[in-house]
Structure 1
Amino acid sequence: MRLYQFPVSHFCEKVRWALDYKGLHYEVQDLLPGRHVRTIRSLAGSSSVPLLIDNGLKIQGSAEIIDYLEQQYPQHRLTPVSSKHQAIAREWEQRLDDETGPDVRLLCYHYLLQQPSLIIPLLSYRQPWHVSWLLRLGFGKVEKGMRRWMRINERTAAAAQQRLQHTLDELGQAYQQGPFLAGPEFSRADISAASLLAPLFQPAGFDVPWPQSMPGELQGWLNQQRHNLAPLQSLYERFRSAGHELAEQQHGGVANAVSD
């Protein structure tokens, strides 16, 4: 089993968490955003990551990968059994995948792209040493390309922040009503929420070189969101570490990292 991914991607972290939670052994192929296109298109129909290859099967997309894992490796279930709670979990996951994940990425990159010293270590993590040097040399083109590719500008960043504020308020209220989003058990909805919003609270278990603080106005806004982010950080610390420990117990170590 091999996962093609960006280490910094919160969608890839969602899949890593699911794999670890189920105690599955896998290898990762770390790719550089932009340069990944040729590699992924040679393997699958589109250039998107995460891409999981298992026994010759190729699955793209975090929700699709979790669906596959639930069918093939049902241990440590992530999809609720009851139809009611399953519908709630999938509704949350789809919303978080379609709206919240892209909004987090857009907002963070809008600010990080203004400070090459912060974003280059994130993009080049686990890449050969010269990749960081090349990114610094051509950062102007990198920034323009990323902003064009993801439609990042002042207007879209402000709109993303407004949507995120609404979602964080809803999640904060939901976690006040119970420990999980979809019924009495930890589920794929909670993994989606905690992993896709992880760049906002920067957990150590994500294993990337987070900045000590986010740039300017973004850090000020994040400080105001601590009460909403606290339940997500708690879930991450409790269940993400459990996934790592389970993988270590069953396979004698966490997944092997393989650089491109």
Structure 2
Amino acid sequence: MSRGLPGPLVFGVECCYGKYWSDKRPRLCTITVSHYCEKVRWALDAGKIDYTEDAHPPGFHMSWAQKASPDGKTSTPLLKDAGTESKALQESTQILEYLAKQYPSRLGWLFPSDLSAEQQALKAELMEKLDQSLGVEIRAIIYSFCLLEPEGKGETLLAETLKKNTLWGEKIFMGLVMPKVWVLMRKAMQISEEKLAERLETLNSVVSRLDEVLSDGRKFLLGTDHPTVLDITAASLAYPLVTPPQMGEVSMSMECMQPVPRAVEFCEEYRKRPFGFWVLKMYKDYRGATVSLPLLKEFPPSAGEGQGEGEGVVGAPEPLGEEGGDAYKVQICWTGKK
């Protein structure tokens, strides 16, 4: 039995969606707010790659990810390419490497081949700090601010954020199980004031190093004339640090964070630092005016949309226009087949 959702619910959802993983375009399974998932979304959108994203709250992603994973793993992001089981990948940098090889004319710039030895050493150093320290600590810090906020204000903010752009059935079920989820999160993430202080210190150390790298005024972290995988990794993993306006549709905005004052102060502080300012500029200049996710529409279709009961078919991508940048929204139509 699949993990992550109760058996009957898994069965019902799979019946509704039929051949869930049979779509012939790349399919990205995500936790909506995950900064590691945002890293892959950024690359896919930058390469103008036609893909489908299936976004879920934490925990609810597990059944979907396990279904496609060749190893039965439940982590996200997970990219399954063009209906080929062997190409289900579950590590963000590995996914970007794969995409750069599959679409060299669109994404080859992520991995330039002419880096000097000094640039390669800097890339290795910073990639490790970003993936193993900054990304991990930021996630735990934001959850800590929310779960340590008195009177449940932070829990309410988290619940509303984690539901964004997810399936309607998951939103309903999530509302029923969240009290237990908060207990599990506090235990799994070791949420406490003491641990929070340690994490803030670790984060400050990593950001100080990034501030130092940017102190010579370079536009990109390796001193190249275009972004590389290091820049996409740094900007996406650090988005919760500064809450770029472009991510408000997916995650928390500065406005909605007001019930958690410590989180607001945290973001305001890091926005003033060189690295924080750089992240905001990367989003402004290279991520587009808004972030529009190509999500599955809710099942069943609203009145007037469908043509009777039948198998869901993913239609052609619809460009979102100037505000959507390079993103695409995938439309779901219904064939009426029985």
Pick the TM interval, shorter chain. Answer: 0.7 to 0.9
Residue-pair matches, total: 255
Aligned-pair CA distance for 1:242:
8.6
* Aligned with 1:91 (options 112, 116, 125): 125
- Mapped to 2, the partners of 1:255 and 1:3 lie a distance apart of 13
* Aligned with 1:232 (options 238, 257, 279): 279
- Tell me which protein shows more helix as a share of its residues: 1
- Mapped to 2, the partners of 1:121 and 1:60 lie a distance apart of 26
- Mapped to 1, the partners of 2:68 and 2:191 lie a distance apart of 29
- Mapped to 2, the partners of 1:142 and 1:196 lie a distance apart of 24
* Aligned with 1:194 (options 218, 235, 245): 235
Work out which of the two has the higher radius of gyration on C-alpha atoms and give 1 or 2. 2
Verify the 8 A CA contact 1:21 1:244 in the aligned structure 2.
no
Q: What amino acid is the match of 2:262? A: E
Aligned-pair CA distance for 1:173:
2.2
Counterparts of 1:89-168 in structure 2 under 5 Å? 89-113=123-147, 114=149, 115-129=154-168, 131-168=170-207
Q: What amino acid is the match of 1:196? A: L
Q: What amino acid is the match of 2:54? A: Q
Change over 3 Å in CA distance of 1:25–1:192 after alignment to 2: same
* Aligned with 1:241 (options 278, 284, 288): 288
TM-score normalized by structure 1?
Answer: 0.88
Change over 3 Å in CA distance of 1:139–1:244 after alignment to 2: closer
Any unmatched runs of 5+ in structure 2? 1-25, 293-316, 321-326, 333-338
Q: Which residue of 2 aligns with 1:79?
A: 111
- Mapped to 2, the partners of 1:156 and 1:2 lie a distance apart of 36
Verify the 8 A CA contact 1:93 1:189 in the aligned structure 2.
yes
- Mapped to 2, the partners of 1:217 and 1:67 lie a distance apart of 37
Q: Is the aligned partner of 1:217 residue 2:244?
A: no
Which deviates the most, 48-57 or 68-77? 68-77
Aligned-pair CA distance for 1:24:
1.1
Larger RCO (alpha carbons 8 Å, 6+ apart):
1
**What fraction of aligned residue pairs are identical, expressed as a percent?**
29
Q: Which residue of 2 aligns with 1:208?
A: 250
Aligned-pair CA distance for 1:244:
7.5
SS in 2 for 1:241: coil
Aligned-pair CA distance for 1:180:
1.0
* Aligned with 2:328 (options 245, 252, 255): 255
Aligned-pair CA distance for 1:224:
2.5
Q: Which residue of 2 aligns with 1:70?
A: 100
Q: Which residue of 2 aligns with 1:182?
A: 222
Aligned-pair CA distance for 1:88:
2.7
- Mapped to 1, the partners of 2:97 and 2:183 lie a distance apart of 36
